[in-house]
Structure 1
Amino acid sequence: MRMDRRDMLASIAGGAALSASPAGARAVAPARDPWRRGIEGQRIADLGDGRYRNPIVGGDHPDPTIVRDGADYYMTFSSFEALPGVMVWHSRDLVNWRPLGPALTANIGSVWACDIGKHDGRFFIYMPVLTEKRGFRIFVTTAARPEGPWSEPVDIGIDGCIDPGHVVGEDGHRYLFVNGIRKVRLSDDGSQAVGPVEPAYQPWHYPADWIVEDFAPEGPKLLKRGGYFYLVTAVGGTAGPPTGHMIIVARSRSVHGPWENCPYNPVVRTVSEDEPWWSRGHGTPVEGPAGDWWIVYHGYENGYRPLGRQALLEPVEWTADGWLRARGGDLSRPIPKPRGGVAGAAGMALSDDFRGSRLGPQWSFHHPGAAGLSRTRFDGAGMLLAAAGSGPGDSAPLTITAPDRDYAVEVSFDLSPGVEAGLTLFYNFRAFVGVGFDGKSIRTYTSGERQPWMDRIMPTRNVRVRMTNVRQVATFYTSLDEGRSWQLNDLRTDVTGYNHNTFGGFLALRPAIYASGAGSVRLRDFRYRALG
């Protein structure tokens, strides 16, 4: 039996198990649900009938970059302030994706749009990193297998550039194209820049009356087909108005140009704010398992910017005159899957009993600082999270990426003296909502600030807390008896504005656990459940 939304909310408020209906709930006809539901009720792309529905990877997975290696596909994304970062994902059908592991476990800075590929039998990832002292630098890491281990990142010696795109030219030399659109020659092993950063292509420009964020040519990706190099570029700005971002194409017989613009530009663009996906752009074309062609890019779900930019898949065609052009049509409808692929596992569990011996792949620290990943310890009863900072904003919280519109999370805290710990929805240090506990009282935070007028006495060091995000309204509950009964926190917060267009940073709103002050908190029995 499915609950309608009123029954669902009654269940949450009454403290019923996340997967159970409340006692006395009335029977209702099954609601029409266009999604298949996978692990913990998360929506999954594969509809099981030869079709899929976007996104192929839900939640905040921006700037997708993809490489094919025989029957296998590997993809990664910008990770920005998250550590571990640059998670590598695997698929054999371009629709069902599962994470293999992170390529980055050392804190080298904020990682922007990467490029993954394979050359001379080794996989590589070029990653632009915003460093604290030297601004943007481009690093490279390599591995014999996408599962890793990945090498220690090496600074290749390029200042002030982002969005690398690797290519081997007709002259046999390796090059990176970067934002601008500019290019630089690399050493034969790809570990160093050996030439200047120089202009490569003056991108096609949209009409002046189009409503966009900025010209901002970025995200160059290159492929070779039929004697041409194809250069795929994003313009229009990555956020801002829904109609801003877009993908354009040019081609040349040489990586050194001259470049001819595609007559069908832009090949991908959100034309109207009524479309299901906004700000579509930053694409990588890829050949499907049976030889058809596709493009992977990102976009914001209409009305759900706090989820971040999600990974989308659209079919493309090669025209008679040798250009690629997207042909997905209405992306609110199911699309036939790529032919010839093998469906595999999709997604990952977000719940965690913390009974393992290391941090699960669903977790990452936000802006972890010098401590990096050293703040966790497992004692058999749960995971001990060491305190950092003075409150939720500067505590380098432990976060997960929520892939669903509506969801609930729960976790239990055992507090040591001197620590404040809590559960939040966290965008960045200026934008978060949640509740915290210090063993004496419960504190409430919204708009990145503590609300002292809402403090109330709660003299306990053992508490379970629940958060729901339903229709982009965050609600918090506390329990002193391990979830048998719940107390509603009076403040509920509309979180629709917690996104890049308000606070910058290109991030997403994430469930997060923090520990600040001194000492540590033991985390037990974290649960995630999609709702609706």
Structure 2
Amino acid sequence: MKKQNLFIVPAMAFFLSLSGFSLKKDQPDPPSNTPVFSKATYTGNDAVYTNNPLASNEFYNPILQGCYPDPAITRKGEDYYLVASSFAMFPGVPIFHSKDLVNWKQIGHVLDRESQLDVHDTGISQGVYAPGITYNPNNDTFYMITTAFAGGLGNIVVKTKDPMQGWGEPIKLDFEGIDPSLFFDDDGKAYVVHNDAPDKGKELYQGHRVIKVWEYDVEHDQVIKGTDKIIVDGGVDITEKPIWIEAPHLYKKAGNYYLMCAEGGTGGWHSEVIFMGDSPKGPFEPAPSNPILTQRYFPSNRENMVDWAGHADLVEGPDGKYYGVFLGVRPNTENRVNTGRETFILPVDWSGTYPVFENGLVPMKPKLELPEGVTNKTSEKGYFPNGNFTFEEDFSNKQLDYRWIGLRGPREAFIKQGKKGLEIKPFETEITELKPTSTLFHRQMHKTFTFSTDLAYKPKSENDFAGITCYQNERFNYAFGITKKDKAYYIVLQRTEKGNSEVLASKPISLSENISLKVEADNDVYTFSFSTDDTAFTKLGDSVSGDILSTNVAGGFTGAMIGLYATSANSIQP
């Protein structure tokens, strides 16, 4: 790629990044077998928020509920930008902006076009991992660096002068490993740190990893060959056989260099550790008080449990105090993780030699005090909500909210806005396949929630299906909706576990009018119901377990999602 083209963003990409994507309007009425969703409503009702109302000087933690894992953060002046992993979701790498670290607005996605992201044949927990975002004051440029486990890219970097205006095309970087992060020193030099395997033949145990550093050529956007060096082997104390030292970030403070990493793997032993050295290339010595953040030592029955805390990044706040963003999970009453890994924040005490997350080594609380001078605006329109809230989408706006995402391909490939709502052009693909699906997803953001939608649809044959999916991945999901058998219409509920599908319930229905579909979750209990008069809902079958929607049952790294789904290759039989 020619260097002078790096910041040229096509006109359409600019438009998408600026204000969401535009939906075609004023189209003729669709055929009756084209599903039209005229409304969707998501309401969260978690007890933790009901039982812990906010005072005027408080805000809720996590700041991003639902599957927004592996957060990274950077600052330019008064502006803060935060990114998170997106795996095979499309568009990729959601990006948020804030002035105060409390109130956030999603401004789009970093990888918002197919030329930047190819995940069409990728498992949902593959794709784009652990992005890092860094502002380089030496050339007034933002960098997003990540590992793309799809499309043959590997480690890549994209750049922009302004995150509000879209990002350039990916530049492939010439090194292996995962979780890269960039560091720009005061003298203009740059470095990449990342997780990698030990040198060949030197792996000592399962989970043994190392942290490497490279010098980085800013002019040519490439690591400098021959400059790589292992700066951490194994972790804080290799004699203890620490596992999965990863997600490294370099910082400089008071003339010293600090290397912060996650250790222990994304699970119950997750933690954050810190090292100090006098050069970006080390040697680095671990702090005597590691870990500086973890939730691994506490009883599993603790109230409002937050677990798996780690994979952090630091930034100086507007008040001159440091803060750290990191991932954590909030299991439900059955200790299952349906909401996935979420983005939390804590103040950081860096008054001594080493930083320590304030209250990051005791059981975490659901509320934090606002920084001085900050007002909580998360309940106001335009800001990303947290706590209990209702999100309504009637699909009448020209721009679709950034929370609506596709999987393995762009949303624009299967949706358009007509006079009566959002039309989904069904793909010949089911959600049980490892392919792009015609499904518009919203993350599950609460343990207790209700999601409902109004659907106008008359399937022509048994090959047609439209409705709702509750989805962890292609091998673990529920499908709830409308199909046809012979001359009758049916509403059906299918459960897929480990790739094996079973119809749990079905019922013939009349489709003279629109039908309303609803899924309600109370921790592990999910209930599916429908209404043909928009008032009285009828439950289909028995309530079911949300076990297959949990990360610690289905595996992988994502949280559950709720989707508006259609297919023309239906295999569900009433």
Q: TM class, shorter-chain normalised?
A: 0.7 to 0.9
Distance 1:315 1:360 in 2: 30
Distance 2:341 2:532 in 1: 37
Q: For residues 170-249 of structure 1, what are the structure 2 equivalents within 5 Å?
A: 172-179=188-195, 180-189=210-219, 191-196=221-226, 197-205=228-236, 215-239=243-267, 242=268, 244-249=269-274
Q: 1:351 aligns with which of 377, 392, 397?
A: 392
Contact in 2 for aligned 1:292/1:338 (Cα 8 Å): no
Contact in 2 for aligned 1:53/1:335 (Cα 8 Å): yes
Q: Which residue of 2 aligns with 1:431?
A: 476
Aligned partner of 1:442: which letter?
Answer: I
CA displacement at 1:105 relative to structure 2: 1.5
Q: 1:143 aligns with which of 153, 157, 160?
A: 160
Contact in 2 for aligned 1:85/1:104 (Cα 8 Å): yes
Please state whether the residue corresponding to 1:413 is helix, strand or coil.
Answer: strand
Q: Which residue of 1 aligns with 2:490?
A: 441
Greater relative contact order structure (CA < 8 Å, 6+ sep):
2
Q: Matched residue pairs, number?
A: 470
Q: Which residue of 1 aligns with 2:321?
A: 292
Please, which runs of 5 or more residues in structure 2 have no aligned partner? 1-40, 120-126, 196-209
Distance 1:32 1:266 in 2: 29
Contact in 2 for aligned 1:92/1:344 (Cα 8 Å): no
Q: 2:340 matched to 1:308? A: yes
Distance 1:403 1:452 in 2: 27
CA displacement at 1:352 relative to structure 2: 1.2
Distance 2:189 2:49 in 1: 55
The alignment's TM-score, normalised by the length of structure 2, stands at 0.76
Pick closer, same or farther for the CA change 1:226–1:308 going to 2, 3 Å. same
Q: Which residue of 2 aligns with 1:258?
A: 283
CA displacement at 1:490 relative to structure 2: 1.1
CA displacement at 1:500 relative to structure 2: 2.5
Please, which runs of 5 or more residues in structure 1 have no aligned partner? 1-16, 20-29, 37-46, 520-532
CA displacement at 1:456 relative to structure 2: 2.8
Q: 2:66 matched to 1:52? A: no
Q: For residues 97-136 of structure 1, what are the structure 2 equivalents within 5 Å?
A: 97-106=104-113, 107-109=117-119, 110-119=127-136, 120-132=139-151, 134=152
The alignment's TM-score, normalised by the length of structure 1, stands at 0.81
Pick closer, same or farther for the CA change 1:407–1:459 going to 2, 3 Å. same
Q: 2:416 matched to 1:400? A: no
Pick closer, same or farther for the CA change 1:186–1:71 going to 2, 3 Å. same
Contact in 1 for aligned 2:59/2:376 (Cα 8 Å): no
Q: 1:468 aligns with which of 511, 520, 529?
A: 520
Q: Tell me the percent identity.
A: 23
Pick closer, same or farther for the CA change 1:497–1:319 going to 2, 3 Å. farther
Pick closer, same or farther for the CA change 1:264–1:518 going to 2, 3 Å. same
Q: For residues 243-392 of structure 1, what are the structure 2 equivalents within 5 Å?
A: 244-270=269-295, 271-272=297-298, 273-275=300-302, 276-303=305-332, 304-320=336-352, 322-328=353-359, 329-332=362-365, 334-341=367-374, 343-345=376-378, 346-347=383-384, 350-368=391-409, 373-392=412-431
Contact in 1 for aligned 2:424/2:438 (Cα 8 Å): no
1:375-420 deviation line (CA, Å, top 9, x unaligned): 1111121111121244332335321112222111111222353531
CA displacement at 1:278 relative to structure 2: 0.7
Pick closer, same or farther for the CA change 1:92–1:145 going to 2, 3 Å. same
Please state whether the residue corresponding to 2:130 is helix, strand or coil.
Answer: coil
Aligned partner of 1:108: which letter?
Answer: D
Pick closer, same or farther for the CA change 1:377–1:335 going to 2, 3 Å. closer
CA displacement at 1:156 relative to structure 2: 2.5
1:187-243 deviation line (CA, Å, top 9, x unaligned): 214632332554222254469889xxx70111001111000111110010112xx2x
Q: Point out the more displaced range, 333-342 or 459-468.
A: 333-342
Pick closer, same or farther for the CA change 1:190–1:474 going to 2, 3 Å. farther
CA displacement at 1:131 relative to structure 2: 1.1
Q: Which residue of 1 aligns with 2:4?
A: none
Pick closer, same or farther for the CA change 1:165–1:274 going to 2, 3 Å. farther
Aligned partner of 2:283: which letter?
Answer: P
Contact in 2 for aligned 1:66/1:73 (Cα 8 Å): yes
Contact in 2 for aligned 1:288/1:338 (Cα 8 Å): no
Q: For residues 39-118 of structure 1, what are the structure 2 equivalents within 5 Å?
A: 47-106=54-113, 107-109=117-119, 110-118=127-135
